[in-house]
Amino acid sequence: KQEVTQIPAALSVPEGENLVLNCSFTDSAIYNLQWFRQDPGKGLTSLLLIQSSQREQTSGRLNASLDKSSGRSTLYIAASQPGDSATYLCAADNAGNMLTFGGGTRLMVKP
Q: Which residue ranges make up the site for another protein (CB under 8 A)?
A: 4, 6, 31-32, 34, 36, 41-46, 49, 51, 89, 91, 93, 95-104
Q: In the complex with another protein, which residue's Cβ is closer, 41 or 83?
A: 41
Q: In the complex with another protein, which residue's Cβ is closer, 16 or 103?
A: 103
Euclidean distance between CA atoms 107 and 81, whole angstroms: 11
Closest distance of CB 100 from another protein, Å: 7
Euclidean distance between CA atoms 101 and 34, whole angstroms: 9
Cα–Cα separations (whole angstroms), residue 16 to 38, 41, 44: 21, 26, 24
